[in-house]
Structure 1
Amino acid sequence: MKRTLVALLAGASLFPLAGPPAVAVAPSAARPAASAGYAPAARNAALDLVPGIPRSARRPAPGGRQLHIEYVPRSEAGSRAGRCIRSAGPFQRQAERYLRRRADGRQSAGDCRAIRRFQQRHRIAPATGYAGPVTGAVVRLLRARKDPNRAGHCPVRQERTACVDLDRQVMWVQQAGRVIFDPVPIRSGQPTMETRTGTYRIYLRRRYHISNLYHTPMPFAQFFDRGEAFHGVDDDIYEGLGSHGCINLTWSDARNLWYLLKKHDLVYVWGRKPSG
């Protein structure tokens, strides 16, 4: 199945009438380099590993639920469907800890079954039990939802505050110490084009925005720093090395955020996107 809209719905734009001087930015949906040691399973084969999903759901309309394609070791990319990968992934311990298994970082038959069930439940394909980058990202998101500001990185204010945690690649909104928009996954700037950290305010909102530099759609765009914006994307939020500075969200999350935030709301960004 061909991927469509790869590298689309990304970036930021110049806009001379509102906010501080803008620097146009746009994300890239490029996959990790082959030298990184990971290879995506063939897309059609990966999708066929997940039972009970109609073909129409494999290319969802905007706002629909997508499959998240996991990366597996190149040496095991040809593993037969339905079989566990014996290798321990880079996020093995995190997955074991979340699933309340012995966190020894070593793959066992029981670990594999538990991780596979987790992957199937969260639409991660192929569900081979390999705790790769996508599985790790979903584990981070679910852990963040329990108490996103436990470490106190995001300032507690009486006003609405969009909290952007680059370390965990999640964002949420809180007000007076209460979470009013649960943590959702994001895709921030790729290496050398990182999302800038700091305290900002939303200065421009455009529901149907087109980047004047990249000529790509940026649905539900909310600009907060010199062209960097929250906006929706139509590809998998877990794919690619990152954006060129914008905070990418799924189409549905960007839409929901649009109806919550207003112009002049506070945005606080901290941390650094993890490598790999």
Structure 2
Amino acid sequence: MVGAGLTAALPGTAAAAAAAETCTAATGPYQRPMEEYLKRTVDGAQSPEDCAAIRTFQQSRSITPADGYANLVTYRTMTAVKAGANPNAAGDCPQRSDRVTCVDLDRQLLWVQTGKNVVLDPVPIRTGRDGEETRTGWHAVYWRDRDHVSTIYNNAPMPYSQFFDGGQALHGRPDGLFDGGGSAGCVNLRLADAAALWDLLDIDDALYIWGTKPGTAD
């Protein structure tokens, strides 16, 4: 029976090895954090096995291309997944009896909580670039426009806009979030996330924003 068990295990082992061998993406800019999250040896150097593990994560989160390369979209998605059901573990976003939209500039994450309960799971965001940082502190939604078009930035579409401080708003970004840049101060979201946030929030909803976007001045 032992021999039979070993024989039965070999095809799976061979298949796993073959899968790793066919994953050939190079070392990515977010190699180390992905290795750490996936419980691989953290050495910052891609191996076929690392590549296969990253590719499996990408496939599980519908990231394209799912090629095993540790790029920005993979890293940012992992950050949101890692935050999980307790994104406020550090206690940075104040807990109140009313609903609070929490905007973490350090991790580039947004979630919504009521007291200790998370009512919108953490999602990736894109906030203000250097010199046009998203303003921190307490804010409140004062105007909503589902099909807003910017009057400042070349008629850029800003779907599901919820303004909270002057011209700064929560809104969807049709071009996506993961180009490595930043906004002019708004909190950009993926379209589906912006739509979910639109359905959840209303006028006078509270926002709390803290931290520093990576790559911007303190």
TM-score class, shorter: 0.7 to 0.9
Between the aligned partners of 1:203 and 1:196, the Cα distance in structure 2 is 15
Number of aligned pairs?
194
Q: Distance in 1 between matches of 2:101 and 2:74?
A: 25
Q: Post-superposition shift, 1:222?
A: 0.6
Shift of residue 202 of structure 1?
1.0
1:240 offset after TM fit, Å?
4.4
Gaps of 5+ in 2: 1-21
Q: Could you tell me how far 1:133 is from its partner in structure 2?
A: 2.1
Deviation string, structure 1 residues 168-193 (Cα, Å, up to 9, x no partner): 11100000111001111111112221
User: d(CA) in 1 for partners of 2:69 and 2:156?
Assistant: 34
Correspondence for 2:152 among 213, 232, 252: 213
Report the counterpart of residue 248 of structure 1 in structure 2. 188
With normalisation by structure 1, the TM-score equals 0.66
> Which structure has the higher relative contact order (CA within 8 Å, separation 6+)?
1
Secondary structure (helix, strand or coil) at the match of 1:206 reads strand
2:164 to 221, 224, 235: 224
Alignment of 1:93 with 2:32, yes or no, is: yes
- Structure 1 residues 85 and 252, CA, compared in 2 at 3 Å: closer, same or farther? closer
Residue of structure 2 equivalent to 1:118: 57
* Identity value in percent: 50
Which of 68, 72, 83 does residue 129 from structure 1 map onto? 68
TM-score by length of 2: 0.82
RMSD value, Cα: 1.8
Whichever structure has more helix as a proportion of its residues is: 2
- Which runs of 5 or more structure 1 residues have no equivalent in the other structure? 1-81
Distance in 2 separating the partners of 1:86 and 1:254: 33
CA displacement, residues 177-218 of structure 1 (integer Å, 9 cap, x when unaligned): 110011111111122211111111111112222222222222
Does the 8 Å CA contact 1:191/1:241 hold for their aligned counterparts?
Answer: no
Partner of 1:108: 47
| 3-state SS of 2:110 partner | strand
Distance 1:121 1:104 in 2: 24
Superposed counterparts of 1:1-276, under 5 Å: 83-87=23-27, 89-214=28-153, 215-275=155-215
Q: Which amino acid aligns with 2:74?
A: T
Matches of 1:237 and 1:86 in 2, distance apart? 23
Q: Which residue does the alignment assign to 1:61? A: none
